[in-house]
Structure 1
Amino acid sequence: MNEGLERIALSTGVMLAVRMAGPREADPILFLHGFPESHRTWRHQVADLSRDHFCVAPDQRGFGASDKPGAVKAYKTDRIIEDLIALADQLGIGRFTLVGHDWGGAASWLAALRHPDRVVRLVIVNAPHPLIFQKSLIDDPEQRAASQYIRAFRNPLMETGVRAMGLERFFEKSFGAHVDLARIPEEEKQAYLRDWGREGALTAMLNWYRASNIKVPKTGRRAMKPLWTHAPFPKLKMPVLVVWGMKDKALLPVQLEGLDALVDDLALVRVEDAGHFVPWEKPDAVTGAIRDFLST
């Protein structure tokens, strides 16, 4: 999937490495990956969907071959959404289908809320709605326990720990606990190791967690939900597809509860035999769900 990877300068001040495929005149789909990945998350989906769509899959800031600003504040979700819109503008794309997984999905939820004039359809793959996620981190003991890794990733000593264990071991822990590593070809593993070994890459990737406003209390500690979770939350009006690997150990099925109250036009596809990295584990299921969604 490295063929066609281009570095594109954006008005936000960063250069993103972007994989583009498919006819430029076709309906566009923008893909946003999550942690600790790159545009390669979508290699199977782009290979199929680019037959009749213009597919755009960037390495998001901090990841892969894209720029890696040093400041934590450079990774706030606002900056990620600005990159998305700037990339679409740079490519002359007006309205588009947006597909996001993990952190890319978190940004996609908010991008759709803030730019409904640009996001014509939204596809979320194992990424929680911000309101449901924040509430669950307070109210659901199992989800809070499953999310303690976020607290660890925010620790300023995390990079030291990763370097001490080595990138190979980090690969086994970050992927191996959540995906059948037999599904990851050796060349893909080596590509990730190269990406993570780039100057500043570890800090940049972890800064996504440090820049987030999501509150993750310690397990067993009494906590109050942030005030914003008590206020009316806007509903999404465009069609939304949520694809969920039901064996996800980090984002539990509680994240699907109440989605229909926040989305007017919701389609939900549960992939029972896949975990968090469902685009890798069950690529055909993800691609098929997207194709079916786009045809309706």
Structure 2
Amino acid sequence: MSIARLPSRSEFIQVRGLRYHVRHWGNEDAPLIVMLHGWMDVSASFQFVVDHLQHDWHVIAPDLRGFGLTDTPGTDTYWFPDYLGDLDAVLQHYVPQGPVNLLGHSMGANVAGLYAGTRPERVRRLVNLEGFGLPATHAEQAPGRYRQWLDELRRPPSLRTYVSQAEVAARLQKTNPRLSDERAAFLSGCWAKQDSEGRWVILGDPAHKQTSPLLFHVEEVMACWRQITAPVLWMQADDTDVWHWMGPKEQAQAEIDRRLAHIPQLQKEMITNAGHMLHHDQPELLASLIEDFLLR
């Protein structure tokens, strides 16, 4: 039996020269939650959490640049600060003044965390779904990183296409075996579309696959996190699959905890029976925790 979905509507706005797709759920006069999706994902990824919210909310979720129905900037490299610039412009469009409730998953959570420390007056409460950051780097890695970037520029990346929407759904379930058939079918229609030849193509710019030539400076991120004035709800999955970014699980958890210690007002929640896509695996629990936190 198909699960009833709270309907969403699409809006397109101009953001820093790009035609941005923004998805809306709920009553526009209700309290606002802004949600930012992760890497190689789309705004519809939050549908299942939105479906379980019990109170009246206006949820808006943009497709970030180069994802979903938002324009690609036409570049061969994506610069992370542009996501902050886009978020600032999106908030300026919808809420020119005052703080908002901000939520992000994975890459979107990293954007949200940096933004909350850069413009603390604009964030009322922050929900971080596994915005770990990246492995720390050191200066000696710079020559190799630049060489890798230059080498990759010579052979632009491409994304696989699929025969059918069902094949796209199967691909999503391969990445996340917890994803039900019904949820995979829904997401596949938002994550990909049919081209003129009948193949299903992922709604993501292949340039996102390029290695960034810039090193990840974790101390800069921590400096931003220390400036966050909003209460922060951190949610982490007990079976997350991103540990390999930072080494063995025990080592990675110690590094994550070290980073989180820089956030002044932090509430931690471990979500059981969930992987990195915890908003797909446990949406009812997440919705409950999110509302308890935002309404406190």
Mapped to 2, the partners of 1:231 and 1:201 lie a distance apart of 26
Mapped to 2, the partners of 1:257 and 1:200 lie a distance apart of 34
Mapped to 2, the partners of 1:294 and 1:79 lie a distance apart of 27
Q: Deviations for 1:48-76, whole angstroms, at most 9, x for unmatched residues? A: 44842221111111111111112144x32
Q: Cα distance 1:165–1:206, how it changes in 2: closer, same or farther (>3 A)?
A: farther
* Counterpart position of 1:4: 9
Q: Cα distance 1:72–1:112, how it changes in 2: closer, same or farther (>3 A)?
A: farther
Q: Cα distance 1:87–1:198, how it changes in 2: closer, same or farther (>3 A)?
A: farther
* Counterpart position of 2:214: 213
* Counterpart position of 1:289: 289
Q: 1:170 deviation in Å?
A: 7.5
SS in 2 for 1:194: strand
Q: 1:195 deviation in Å?
A: 8.1
Q: Cα distance 1:120–1:86, how it changes in 2: closer, same or farther (>3 A)?
A: same
Unaligned residue ranges in structure 1 (runs of 5+): 139-150, 216-225
1:83 to 86, 91, 95: 86
* Counterpart position of 2:230: 238
Q: 1:263 deviation in Å?
A: 0.9
Q: How many positions carry a matched residue from both structures?
A: 264
Mapped to 1, the partners of 2:271 and 2:14 lie a distance apart of 37
* Counterpart position of 1:101: 105
Give the TM-score, by structure 2 length. Answer: 0.75
Q: Cα distance 1:249–1:96, how it changes in 2: closer, same or farther (>3 A)?
A: same
Structure number with the higher helix fraction is 1
* Counterpart position of 2:141: none
Alignment of 1:218-233 (within 5 A): 229=219, 233=223
| Conservation of the 8 A alpha-carbon contact between 2:66 and 2:204 | yes
- The answer to whether structure 1 residue 44 and structure 2 residue 48 are counterparts is yes
Mapped to 2, the partners of 1:257 and 1:240 lie a distance apart of 14
* Counterpart position of 2:277: 277
2:114 to 106, 110, 116: 110
Code of the aligned partner of 1:247: D
Q: 1:212 deviation in Å?
A: 7.1
SS in 2 for 1:122: strand
What percentage of aligned pairs have identical amino acids? 21
Q: Cα distance 1:42–1:79, how it changes in 2: closer, same or farther (>3 A)?
A: same
Mapped to 2, the partners of 1:50 and 1:8 lie a distance apart of 29
Code of the aligned partner of 1:191: C
Q: Cα distance 1:67–1:266, how it changes in 2: closer, same or farther (>3 A)?
A: same
Q: Cα distance 1:82–1:37, how it changes in 2: closer, same or farther (>3 A)?
A: same
* Counterpart position of 1:262: 262
| Conservation of the 8 A alpha-carbon contact between 2:162 and 2:201 | no
- The answer to whether structure 1 residue 34 and structure 2 residue 38 are counterparts is yes
- The answer to whether structure 1 residue 193 and structure 2 residue 192 are counterparts is yes
| Conservation of the 8 A alpha-carbon contact between 1:125 and 1:242 | yes
| Conservation of the 8 A alpha-carbon contact between 1:34 and 1:101 | yes
* Counterpart position of 2:131: 127
1:182 to 180, 183, 187: 180
Give the TM-score, by structure 1 length. Answer: 0.75
| Conservation of the 8 A alpha-carbon contact between 2:13 and 2:20 | yes
Mapped to 2, the partners of 1:193 and 1:204 lie a distance apart of 16
Of 181-190 and 36-45, deviating more is 181-190
* Counterpart position of 1:70: 74
Unaligned residue ranges in structure 2 (runs of 5+): 1-5, 139-147, 244-248
